[in-house]
């Protein structure tokens, strides 16, 4: 397992890349016609995929290099070279665009809300460029045991809950990295067969859509056990 200091340095680097992506998208949307919902939709559909792909290439490449560095530092036996994960599909990005600009189409258009959703979606997808590379490398590396989630100091309750206090998610296909908008978490691989394992439920997504009561219970649980710093 990489040291905490090494993981934090890597997480900070990825956060810097995410901020650069956000700066780029904000620079582009200054020229969009925010009083014309369809005009914004068309402009975003053209611009956002290129921004996401460019920065996913960066985070994916950084993740592959970091994986290989950590593996060498851990003196893991056998040969393996990490490769960047595939970038997000265009359909996935465009679906995110449509969701983000939804507030523009209401009876009371809200450009600020649309911009917030759009920037969050972009940074989330950029984050996944790194996480998907790390998780995919763990699954393909014969010597790897699993991966762990690492959040920033003072991170949100949701992320700190998922972090699992050092637990390692094993190589099962059902273990996926969950990220929200503006997430600053990262993934670190493990080659330690004795690393603690999270409970099985942490691997699996719910098989039903949550109700408002379900969401309220989750919010109450996070507020009690993982209060925001």
pLDDT at 106: 85
| Burial class of residue 228 (count of CB atoms within 10 Å of its CB; 0-12, 13-18, 19+) | exposed
- Tell me the pLDDT tens digit for each residue of 23-79: 999 999 999 999 999 999 999 999 999 999 999 999 999 999 999 999 999 999 999
Q: In this structure, what token pair is assigned to residue 192?
A: 């330690």
State residue 199's pLDDT score.
Answer: 47
Confidence (pLDDT) at 84:
97
- Ranges in the chain, pLDDT < 70: 152-167, 171-183, 196-229
User: In this predicted structure, what is the pLDDT of residue 156?
Assistant: 55
CB 14 within 8 A of CB 186: yes
- Quickly count: other Cβ atoms within 10 Å of residue 178's Cβ: 13
| Confidence (pLDDT) at 150 | 80
The pLDDT, as a whole number, for residue 55 is 97
Residue 227: the pLDDT is 54
The pair of three-digit structure tokens given for residue 115, joined into one six-digit string = 């911009």
Report the alpha-carbon distance of residue 128 to residue 125 in Å, rounded. Answer: 5
pLDDT at 20: 96
Q: What is the pLDDT of residue 125?
A: 92
Residue of 134, 112, 123, 224 whose CA lies nearest to 183:
123
């Amino acid at each position: 397992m990489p040291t905490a200091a090494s993981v934090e340095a890597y997480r900070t680097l990825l956060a810097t890349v995410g901020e650069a992506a956000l700066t780029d998208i904000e620079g582009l949307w200054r020229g969009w016609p925010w009083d014309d919902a369809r005009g914004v939709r068309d402009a975003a559909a053209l611009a956002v995929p290129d921004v996401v792909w460019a920065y996913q290439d960066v985070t994916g490449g950084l993740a592959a290099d970091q994986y290989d560095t950590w593996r060498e530092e851990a003196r893991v036996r056998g040969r393996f070279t990490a490769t960047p994960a595939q970038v997000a599909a265009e359909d996935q990005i465009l679906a995110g665009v449509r969701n983000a600009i939804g507030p523009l189409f209401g009876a009371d258009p809200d450009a600020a809300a649309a911009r917030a959703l759009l920037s969050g979606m972009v940074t989330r997808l950029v984050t996944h460029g790194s996480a998907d590379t790390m998780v995919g490398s763990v699954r393909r590396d014969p010597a790897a045991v699993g991966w762990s989630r690492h959040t920033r100091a003072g991170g949100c309750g949701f992320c700190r809950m998922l972090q699992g206090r050092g637990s390692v998610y094993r190589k099962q296909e059902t273990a996926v990295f969950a990220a929200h908008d503006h997430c600053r978490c990262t993934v670190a691989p493990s080659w330690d067969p004795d690393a603690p394992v999270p409970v099985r439920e942490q691997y699996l997504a719910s098989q039903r859509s949550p109700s408002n009561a379900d969401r309220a219970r989750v919010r109450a649980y996070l507020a009690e056990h993982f209060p925001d710093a």
